[in-house]
Amino acid sequence: MEPRINPFGNPLALKMFKHLTGAGMALVTDSTLPESLQELVKIRASQINGCGACLDMHTKEATAAGETSVRLALVGAWREATVYTDAERAALALTEYGTRLADGYGIPDDVWEAAAKHFDEDQLIALTGLIALINAFNRINVVLRLPAGEYKVGQYATKG
pLDDT digits (tens, 9 = 90+) for 69-112: 999 999 999 999 999 999 999 999 999 999 999 988 899 999 99
- Alpha-carbon distance of 90 to 118, in angstroms, equals 8
**Helices 109-118 and 86-99, packing angle to 10 deg:** 140
Give the sign of the dihedral formed by CA 107, CA 114, CA 59, CA 80: negative
Residue 35, classified by CB atoms within 10 Å of its CB into exposed (0-12), middle (13-18) or buried (19+), is middle
Any idea how long the chain is? 160
Q: What would the pLDDT profile of 97-150 be if each residue is shown by its tens digit?
A: 999 999 888 999 999 999 999 999 999 999 999 999 999 999 999 999 999 989
Query: Is residue 98 within 8 Å of 132, Cβ to Cβ?
Result: yes
